[in-house]
Amino acid sequence: MTEARDRLSSPAAPYGSRRMSSARRAIAETAALMDGAFTAESLHDRVVASRPGIGLATVYRAVAAMADAGYLARVGERDGAALYAVCGHDGHHHHAVCERCGAVTPVECAFVPSALPAGFAMTRHEVAIYGVCAECQGSERGGSR
């Protein structure tokens, strides 16, 4: 989480060259403190606990701007809602999301372009990896969490 806070203080993050109003700063600071994957709605719930005047539409716009700037990554979905996480991992990668605790782990992309049909020109790809992290598996076996 320290790298998320470090990126928050960077002049280029979390909104890139876009302006950072006090509402956007509060949203970005709250995003940096979120544990694992979160939806815009859950981020809004956390934000309004300290800044009651910030609306859901403002959070959605801020999330979109932070995703455009590369500060947030869309890491999958839960119950039809997009999941986001603060992403400090450089280079092309994907994310493994724990379905129990929401932990997000970067995963190197193992896509093999030679697996594509001859003559196919790929423009992009998406990979969503869901499962149960080692910590949650340990707690199932009676380990401590």
10 and 65, same domain (yes or no): yes
pLDDT band at 3 (very low <50, low <70, confident <90, very high): low
pLDDT band at 16 (very low <50, low <70, confident <90, very high): confident
User: 75 and 30 in contact (C-beta within 8 Å)?
Assistant: no
What pLDDT does residue 44 have? 98
Query: Closest Cα to residue 34, out of 77, 59, 5, 57?
Result: 5
pLDDT band at 4 (very low <50, low <70, confident <90, very high): low
0.95 surpassed by pTM: no
Which residue range(s) make up the domain with 109? 93-140
Digit-coded pLDDT (tens) for 26-67: 999 999 999 889 999 999 999 999 999 999 999 999 999 999
Structural domain includes residue 110: yes
72 and 23, same domain (yes or no): yes
> How many independent structural domains does the chain possess?
2
Give the CA-trace dihedral at 109, 115, 119, 125, to 10 degrees.
-30
Q: Give the whole-angstrom CA distance, residue 106 versus residue 92.
A: 10
